[in-house]
Amino acid sequence: MSFSPSDLLLRIPALLVAITFHEYAHARMAYAWGDPTAKYQGRLTLNPLAHLDPLGLLMLLIVRFGWAKPVPINPLNFRDQRKGLFWVSFAGPGMNLLLGFISTFIYYSFPGFGPFVKVLLYNFIIYNVFLAVFNIIPLPPLDGSKILASLLPNRYLYHYRAIEPYGPFLLIILLVFGLLPVFLLPISYFIMNLFEKLVILLMLY
């Protein structure tokens, strides 16, 4: 893993944008569903400093596994708790997928960019797609767990809630034993290839 100034210059902007827009999307969607908690705590902003966790950012740079400060929400404020929880939880990964697609579109639509800009754009694609796929994992405290919880019937939700305290521990096990890439990489590259094909189709028309 290279930590040269040029390498960091290409990676840090992609990381900051991916993380910041991810958390901002959570905060904006929560506010749209009637919960002002994130706004009152200064999280309804595109200022990266409001969302960064220093240790989480360092881990992302070193091992591409890290975290930001979770956006605080209160589902009791949502007009509809289940629907609100679903859309607020999906907003973060959804934003990253949107940014990944936009970055793919720019990458292939403007072939005249130099190598520096090309690598920067590719990092935007990679970090946004990987962050989206990682957060969809249905293990607490990731967004996927809340998405699943919003969809499960009550009779199954109780049992699913029982594993919440073990979610971070299970994620660490998956990371330590190298199991996360087993499904993260195929899904991420599938999405990246899909974006590429969609952009090529758009360019043909």
Catalytic residues: 23
The two tokens of residue 149 are 């919880």
Cα angle, residue 159 at apex, residues 155 and 162 outer, rounded to 5°: 145
Q: Is 125 strand, coil or helix?
A: helix
How would you class 131 by CB atoms within 10 Å of its CB: exposed for 0-12, middle for 13-18, buried for 19 or more? Answer: buried
Structure tokens at 127: 């970090």
Q: Is 25 exposed, middle or buried (0-12, 13-18, 19+ CB in 10 A)?
A: buried
Does residue 12 contact residue 52 with C-beta atoms inside 8 Å? no
Distance separating alpha carbons of residues 68 and 54, to the nearest angstrom = 8
172: left (phi over 0), alpha (psi -120 to 50) or beta: alpha
